[in-house]
Amino acid sequence: MKILVIAATPFEMQPFSDYLSGFNHPDIQITTLVHGIGMMHTAYHLGRYLAANRPDLVIQAGIAGCFDHSWEMGKTVIIDREQLGDLGVEDDQAFKDLFETNLWQPDQPPFTNKQLVNLFEGVPHLPALERVSGVTINTVSGSERTRQQLVDKYDPAVESMEGAAFHYACLLERIPFFQLRSISNYVEVRDKSRWKIPLAIQQLNENLITYIEHLRQGSAS
């Protein structure tokens, strides 16, 4: 089985890279790819990789912001659907996305009812983590106005800068995939001192390694 694990920055998967240096299994080949922050970087680097390679599974691992203040930092979730949060037009005080402006149709592939939905078909042993919805933006939200606009329009649980590009590419290529995100911050008026990036990275990598260990044990038996 060929698995591709991708992340926006090397820091997000450093512990996993360390784990991989001692990983050896005859039936599981794992490759990593750091694609950079944001949708443009993700689309180019992942697209280029998939044009030349066909993995059996792609995992995107990253940190993210969450909208629900009852969540603890470091909580790790799987994203089961993605929406584009800032691709569209500004109409005075209002933002209208591609669907509202008829520039894209709600069910035009690979979208289903305006969302990039992961049905997890062909994903072996999907981790038993909470599955939630994601919104992807180009600018990390840092004001109450933007946070409320996203909640009103998309009702997301998690915000990232790459998730939608990842879902889009894997859905079009019909390659099994899942997106793993650990929470580093709340989506709120920006206060970097409250972010818990090391904790989120630790939880993210623990979950990633546990998943690969399950696969390894499943494949050995």
**Sign of the C-alpha dihedral, residues 85, 40, 126, 10?**
negative
Cis peptide before 110 (omega within 30 of 0): yes
- Residue 193 neighbours by CB under 8 Å, 6+ apart: none
**Sign of the C-alpha dihedral, residues 62, 67, 72, 77?**
negative
Q: Does 62 interact with ligand LNDFFVEH (rule: CB under 6 A)?
A: yes
110 and 163 Cβ atoms separated by less than 8 Å: no
CA–CA–CA angle 220, 210, 179 (5° rounding) = 110
Chosen residue from 37, 40, 117, 175 binding ligand LNDFFVEH by CB under 6 A:
37
Rg (CA), the chain: 17
Calculate the CA dihedral of residues 87, 90, 93, 98 and round it to 10 degrees.
Answer: -50
x-or-dash pattern for ligand LNDFFVEH, window 77-116, by CB under 6 A?
Answer: ----------------------------------------
Q: Which of residues 123-142 bind ligand LNDFFVEH (CB under 6 A)?
A: 140
Chosen residue from 28, 46, 58, 65 binding ligand LNDFFVEH by CB under 6 A:
65
Least separation, in Å, of the C-beta of 160 and ligand LNDFFVEH? 4
Q: Does 76 interact with ligand LNDFFVEH (rule: CB under 6 A)?
A: no
Chosen residue from 3, 4, 6, 8 binding ligand LNDFFVEH by CB under 6 A:
8
Distance CA 41, CA 46 (A): 8
Q: Nearer Cβ to ligand LNDFFVEH, position 3 or 187?
A: 187
User: How many amino acids of this chain bind ligand LNDFFVEH (CB under 6 A)?
Assistant: 15
Chosen residue from 133, 184, 203, 207 binding ligand LNDFFVEH by CB under 6 A:
184
Question: Which residues lie near ligand LNDFFVEH (CB under 6 A)?
Answer: 8, 37, 62-65, 140, 159-162, 184-185, 187, 192
